[in-house]
Chains A and B, each alone.
Chain A
Amino acid sequence: MIENLTLFLILGPALLALVVYGAPRRLYGPLVVLSSALLFSAALLAWLLHAQSVAIALPAWTHAAIVLLDFALIGYFLWVGVRQNHRLIVLLALLQGALLGWVLYALSAAPLAEIVVDKLGATLWLLVTGVGGLIAWYAVGYMRHESDSPRRQQAFVAILIAFLGVMNALFVADSIELFFLLFELTTLSSFILIGWRRDAASRLSSLQALWMNQLGGVLLLLGMGVIIWQGAPLFFSALLESQSGWALGAAAFLIAGALIKGAQMPFDRWLLGAMVAPTPVSAILHSSTMVKIAPFMVLKLGVLLHGTPLAVAVAYFGGFVFVAGAFVALARNHLKEILAYSTISLLGLMVMLSAVATPLALSAALTLILFHGVAKAMLFMEAGVLEKLHHAKSVDEMGGMLSRAPMSVFLVLLGFASITLPPFGALVGKWVAIEASAQSAFLFLFVALGSVVIALLYFKVAGYMLGKPGSQMGLTIERIPRVFSVTTLLLGVTLALSAILIAPTLVYLIVPAIEPFAPGSEIAHKGLTLMLPSGDLPFWQIVGAWLLLLLLPLAGLKRMRRVDRVREYSGGERIEMQPVTFYFPTPRWIVRAMAIIGAIFFGLIVLLGGVLWVA
């Protein structure tokens, strides 16, 4: 059963994408909904049925197909580079080709299954198909507001759906060779989708994304090279079992490659550039699923790193990015940019936790991966709604959005709250994070500082949206197309429900997924009470905070009676005050310094890889 589901989850999206693309205009919307539902049910079923790891060996011909596809991709990149006259891309493509050729040349077949479905993979499928499916659905509505031809719109949505298959496969690929292909496929989809709008900015951003991700590919290939050099099989499971130094070296390269995909500094620019693309792109590729490759990779190899200087380097790198990303975000003004940087920042935290690799830390990391995915997807979708329906892109234009788009603002606030306030998943993740990182030196300082800065960031933006309500602020729910409201509300409800059920959620969703990597997690629950070894989160606190946060929107809807309305104090003058906000201009040198520090960390990781390999 699992095998079939796996195949469906991997290949199904491509098929469905074809159907969606080819479907008549009228049918394509429902078809997207249907595909999303199908995929999600499959993922849910797989998750429910999953008992232990299932290995799936692919038929021999697939190897040839993989190789073919690999070269096709690299060839395509080369072509893009030549056509766009982008030397770096050409160079990297050639490098990739050479490295790949060499790897393939030295590769010897191993009797291992290419795909291993473990609980972690099954859990991540839920995220990919759940969030991704909703985004695809949302994209149907979103693309109607684009100037594209219907055919092209359908193509766009189809690519999104097909992409889900890639991600599904990626999270269960055991063969690094296969993983490389999938990695390159995500690069390709990034490139295509970022460049979707075909204007100058899109072109530049997409090319930037391409070369940076190619560099990631090169690093992956280097990692593979190390493994091949040692004559070891090109599989994660094999890699994890070998205890020698070269394995660490290989892991370092693999992780470094993944970190680029996770847009960790100094490679943050490409994710920022993704802003120019239609919003669903940002939502699906760059916040909720694709960038998660970075923490996923660290999480996967975490056990191998455990206790090595490499782990320390990666952890501090992650911690640094957490704080630095939040700081840089403070200075930003476009909502999407802010969201992008806070994604980078939080990815840093996940990377850090994955590198710490204690059961608690891994649980925290996975919690963050999941809930951040849900929250960020929702936030990006709302950003899209604000952009499309209210023509507000920068935070300035959102002054007083509350009176125009209460529902969107409310959901944005919910999204922000879910990352900064108890009892939401992401915050609980952070809480667990501190409790986990407290055991390992000073990492928690990063967590403490970073979470405060993130809170500052979010409240600042939230405040701005609330800034200028109309004179008599009654909240009337605005009319927005059903696609938008249903998709975002579903995510919102997920956040709200998971918040009150956070204890069971953690115990039944997160812990089993982490178990195989770091057995002996001490997270438990009693009813709604969440219990960690170092402290409890009793149910009444969860419920209390939840009620307060839920009372708020209810309160907003209920007008007070028998209470006078008065105008704001303005020193006795009858002037309308305008909303204000601070901006925190991060001086250029700080941004540069942060990039440099990031680069040093990054270089250190790669260097450590090299040293460990040689040693």
Chain B
Amino acid sequence: MIKQLHIPLGSQHAALLEPLRLDFSTENERIVSVRSDMGYVHRGVEHACMNRFDFKKVPFVVARVCGLCAITHSTAAVLATEQIVECMVSERAQWLRMLALEFDRIHSHMLCLAHVAESSGYEALFMHTMMERERVMEAQEILSGNRVQFDYATLGGVTRDMDSQCAQALLAKVGALKSVLSGLRDRFEANWSTQMRFKGVGAITLEEAYRLGTVGPIARAAGVRTDIRIESSHLPYRALGFEPIVALEGDLYARNRLRLEEIAQSIELIERILEGLPEGAHLSKVRGRPKGEAMARIEAPRGELFYYVRGNGGAIFERLRIRTPTYANLKAFEAIFLGQEYSSIPAILASLDPCMSCTAK
């Protein structure tokens, strides 16, 4: 009897936001092997940054690597570049960058959660999460003038300052979000159907998580205590009293909970940032051209984002290299998929929160 049936998923598929092709070999819907093609979104951003755009434009260009974590890309690019050009970045600008990053994390996590809900067939929860997410989107617009692509971090600081009125508005938005967070968690957890659907599904063990070099929420949900916010000192996260959140089970359920907790944590961080925001100029002049090489790592919503830049004194980088968190996690995806039911795949996939446009650049 032919026991293996191939179920292709993608490149266009209702459960996918991005083109990605997975080819599952299944036995009765149970995955036995998977092949993937994740190169659909390759546009050649690295090449363009090394050939067409001068280094000052690069933060805006790399932001378009991905709309979900645009700010992390531009921040990382900026942090790396600032090491090899002459410029002084004020403490305030650094704090504002953190602020934008935390907002981005919230909106990305909420989108991921909404997508998990949608992919598991829980439309109402998707709607609910998206509804609450609107608050963050509005906050982001207040902060940066745009809902998705902030274009906030730039060489020498951030593109716009924040007044106290704005801070108040932001506080109100996150405050409102905070108050609904526990209800949201209830809906994800206190429900027999979500428990049946999520518990023990799409799990990765701690050992595997280490072996496959996972990063971000996937690693943390499996018990790896890794968070670039404490592992690098590019941004003054230590001043905020930061401690990463870790879960143990490594399954879909744990990842959901972890994301919800990280949202709460980010809200707290935002409140602390707004409270203790140092005074200073938000933007300072950049002089000279990049010469030498530098790297920067920051914690994107999906984990460690790495930028490497190298300049030779010209206006255009000699090399720019992006390694995104999804890229690091891809190997783990396969391990997670194996042995799962095809019916859980969309939910698992959503909870792994893959970002192909980050990966393929």
A residues near B, CB below 8 A? Answer: 333, 394-396, 570-573, 575, 577-578, 580-585
What sequence of 0s and 1s flags, for each residue 231-263 of chain B, a beta carbon within 8 Å of any chain A beta carbon? 000000000000000000000000000000000
- Residue B11 is within 8 A (CB to CB) of chain A in the complex: yes
Q: Is there an interface contact between B11 and A571, defined as CB atoms closer than 8 Å?
A: yes
| CB contact between B12 and one of A395, A572, A584 (< 8 Å): that residue | A572
- Residue B39 is within 8 A (CB to CB) of chain A in the complex: no
* Chain B residues numbered 1-24 whose CB sits less than 8 Å from any CB in chain A: 1-3, 5-13, 19, 21
29 A-B residue pairings within 8 Å (CB atoms): A333-B1, A394-B1, A395-B1, A396-B1, A396-B2, A570-B8, A571-B8, A571-B9, A571-B10, A571-B11, A571-B12, A571-B13, A572-B11, A572-B19, A573-B11, A573-B21, A575-B8, A577-B6, A577-B8, A578-B5, A580-B5, A580-B6, A580-B7, A581-B5, A582-B29, A583-B3, A583-B28, A584-B28, A585-B28
Nearest-Cβ distance from residue B335 to partner chain A, whole angstroms: 24
What sequence of 0s and 1s flags, for each residue 16-47 of chain B, a beta carbon within 8 Å of any chain A beta carbon? 00010100000011000000000000000000
Complex Cα distance, B23 from A578, in Å, reads 12
Other than the given A571-B10, A571-B21, A572-B12, 5 more pairs (CB < 8 A) read: A396-B2, A571-B8, A571-B9, A582-B29, A583-B28
Instruction: Report chain A residues within 8 Å CB of B2.
Output: 396
Complex Cα distance, B7 from A570, in Å, reads 10
Complex Cα distance, B19 from A573, in Å, reads 11
Instruction: Report chain B residues within 8 Å CB of A575.
Output: 8
Nearest-Cβ distance from residue A341 to partner chain B, whole angstroms: 15
Complex Cα distance, B3 from A575, in Å, reads 20
Complex Cα distance, B27 from A581, in Å, reads 10
What sequence of 0s and 1s flags, for each residue 106-130 of chain B, a beta carbon within 8 Å of any chain A beta carbon? 0000000000000000000000000
Nearest-Cβ distance from residue A320 to partner chain B, whole angstroms: 26
Nearest-Cβ distance from residue A585 to partner chain B, whole angstroms: 8
Q: Is there an interface contact between A582 and B28, defined as CB atoms closer than 8 Å?
A: yes
Instruction: Report chain B residues within 8 Å CB of A570.
Output: 8
Complex Cα distance, B103 from A146, in Å, reads 77
Instruction: Report chain B residues within 8 Å CB of A580.
Output: 5-7
Q: Which residue of chain B has the shortest Cβ distance to A333 in the bound complex?
A: B1
What sequence of 0s and 1s flags, for each residue 348-360 of chain B, a beta carbon within 8 Å of any chain A beta carbon? 0000000000000
Complex Cα distance, B9 from A585, in Å, reads 25
Instruction: Report chain B residues within 8 Å CB of A572.
Output: 11-12, 19
Q: Is there an interface contact between B1 and A583, defined as CB atoms closer than 8 Å?
A: yes
Instruction: Report chain A residues within 8 Å CB of B6.
Output: 577-578, 580
Q: Which residue of chain B has the shortest Cβ distance to A570 in the bound complex?
A: B8
Instruction: Report chain A residues within 8 Å CB of B9.
Output: 571
Complex Cα distance, B28 from A571, in Å, reads 21
Complex Cα distance, B10 from A570, in Å, reads 8
Complex Cα distance, B27 from A583, in Å, reads 8
Indicate the member of A571, A577, A584 with the most B CB atoms within 10 Å. Answer: A571
Q: Which residue of chain B has the shortest Cβ distance to A569 in the bound complex?
A: B12
Q: What DSSP secondary structure best describes chain B's contact surface?
A: loop
Instruction: Report chain B residues within 8 Å CB of A584.
Output: 28
Nearest-Cβ distance from residue A465 to partner chain B, whole angstroms: 14
Q: Is there an interface contact between A573 and B1, defined as CB atoms closer than 8 Å?
A: no
Complex Cα distance, B7 from A394, in Å, reads 22
Instruction: Report chain A residues within 8 Å CB of B21.
Output: 571, 573
Instruction: Report chain A residues within 8 Å CB of B11.
Output: 571-573
Complex Cα distance, B29 from A583, in Å, reads 10
Complex Cα distance, B210 from A405, in Å, reads 55
Complex Cα distance, B21 from A575, in Å, reads 12
Instruction: Report chain B residues within 8 Å CB of A577.
Output: 6, 8
Nearest-Cβ distance from residue A251 to partner chain B, whole angstroms: 42
Instruction: Report chain B residues within 8 Å CB of A571.
Output: 8-13, 21
Q: Which residue of chain A has the shortest Cβ distance to B23 in the bound complex?
A: A575
Complex Cα distance, B5 from A583, in Å, reads 11
Q: Which residue of chain A has the shortest Cβ distance to B9 in the bound complex?
A: A571
Nearest-Cβ distance from residue A156 to partner chain B, whole angstroms: 31
Complex Cα distance, B9 from A577, in Å, reads 11
Complex Cα distance, B6 from A396, in Å, reads 14
Going nearest first, the 6 A-B pairs with the smallest beta carbon separation are: A580-B5, A333-B1, A572-B12, A396-B2, A571-B12, A571-B10
Indicate the member of B2, B10, B13 with the most A CB atoms within 10 Å. Answer: B2
Nearest-Cβ distance from residue A387 to partner chain B, whole angstroms: 17
Q: Which residue of chain A has the shortest Cβ distance to B7 in the bound complex?
A: A580
Nearest-Cβ distance from residue B4 to partner chain A, whole angstroms: 9
Nearest-Cβ distance from residue B254 to partner chain A, whole angstroms: 30
Nearest-Cβ distance from residue A510 to partner chain B, whole angstroms: 39
Nearest-Cβ distance from residue A576 to partner chain B, whole angstroms: 10
Complex Cα distance, B342 from A582, in Å, reads 13
Complex Cα distance, B27 from A585, in Å, reads 11
Complex Cα distance, B12 from A394, in Å, reads 34
Instruction: Report chain B residues within 8 Å CB of A396.
Output: 1-2
Complex Cα distance, B4 from A580, in Å, reads 8
Nearest-Cβ distance from residue B10 to partner chain A, whole angstroms: 5
Nearest-Cβ distance from residue A394 to partner chain B, whole angstroms: 7
* Chain B residues numbered 157-176 whose CB sits less than 8 Å from any CB in chain A: none
Complex Cα distance, B7 from A573, in Å, reads 13
Complex Cα distance, B1 from A584, in Å, reads 11
Instruction: Report chain B residues within 8 Å CB of A395.
Output: 1
Complex Cα distance, B13 from A566, in Å, reads 18
Nearest-Cβ distance from residue A554 to partner chain B, whole angstroms: 32
Q: Which residue of chain A has the shortest Cβ distance to B12 in the bound complex?
A: A572
Nearest-Cβ distance from residue A451 to partner chain B, whole angstroms: 23
Nearest-Cβ distance from residue B221 to partner chain A, whole angstroms: 29
Instruction: Report chain B residues within 8 Å CB of A583.
Output: 1, 3, 28
Instruction: Report chain A residues within 8 Å CB of B8.
Output: 570-571, 573, 575, 577
Q: Which residue of chain A has the shortest Cβ distance to B37 in the bound complex?
A: A573
Q: Which residue of chain A has the shortest Cβ distance to B26 in the bound complex?
A: A580
Complex Cα distance, B3 from A396, in Å, reads 9
Instruction: Report chain A residues within 8 Å CB of B10.
Output: 571, 573
Q: Which residue of chain A has the shortest Cβ distance to B20 in the bound complex?
A: A571
Nearest-Cβ distance from residue B132 to partner chain A, whole angstroms: 31
Complex Cα distance, B299 from A246, in Å, reads 87
Complex Cα distance, B5 from A577, in Å, reads 10
Complex Cα distance, B2 from A394, in Å, reads 10
Instruction: Report chain B residues within 8 Å CB of A333.
Output: 1
Nearest-Cβ distance from residue B5 to partner chain A, whole angstroms: 4
Q: Which residue of chain B has the shortest Cβ distance to A396 in the bound complex?
A: B2
Q: Which residue of chain B has the shortest Cβ distance to A332 in the bound complex?
A: B1
Q: Which residue of chain B has the shortest Cβ distance to A395 in the bound complex?
A: B1
Q: Which residue of chain B has the shortest Cβ distance to A579 in the bound complex?
A: B5
Instruction: Report chain B residues within 8 Å CB of A582.
Output: 28-29
Complex Cα distance, B19 from A418, in Å, reads 46
Complex Cα distance, B5 from A580, in Å, reads 6
Q: Which residue of chain A has the shortest Cβ distance to B16 in the bound complex?
A: A571
Complex Cα distance, B74 from A211, in Å, reads 82
Complex Cα distance, B3 from A572, in Å, reads 26
Complex Cα distance, B5 from A502, in Å, reads 41
Q: Which residue of chain A has the shortest Cβ distance to B10 in the bound complex?
A: A571
Complex Cα distance, B184 from A609, in Å, reads 66
Q: Which residue of chain A has the shortest Cβ distance to B14 in the bound complex?
A: A571
Nearest-Cβ distance from residue B349 to partner chain A, whole angstroms: 14
Complex Cα distance, B5 from A582, in Å, reads 9
Nearest-Cβ distance from residue B227 to partner chain A, whole angstroms: 36
Complex Cα distance, B29 from A573, in Å, reads 21
* Chain B residues numbered 69-126 whose CB sits less than 8 Å from any CB in chain A: none
Complex Cα distance, B9 from A571, in Å, reads 7
Nearest-Cβ distance from residue B292 to partner chain A, whole angstroms: 45
Q: Which residue of chain A has the shortest Cβ distance to B1 in the bound complex?
A: A333
Instruction: Report chain A residues within 8 Å CB of B13.
Output: 571
Nearest-Cβ distance from residue B69 to partner chain A, whole angstroms: 25
Instruction: Report chain B residues within 8 Å CB of A578.
Output: 5-6
Instruction: Report chain A residues within 8 Å CB of B12.
Output: 571-572
Instruction: Report chain A residues within 8 Å CB of B5.
Output: 578, 580-581
Complex Cα distance, B5 from A62, in Å, reads 62
Nearest-Cβ distance from residue A78 to partner chain B, whole angstroms: 40
Nearest-Cβ distance from residue B245 to partner chain A, whole angstroms: 36
Complex Cα distance, B29 from A581, in Å, reads 10
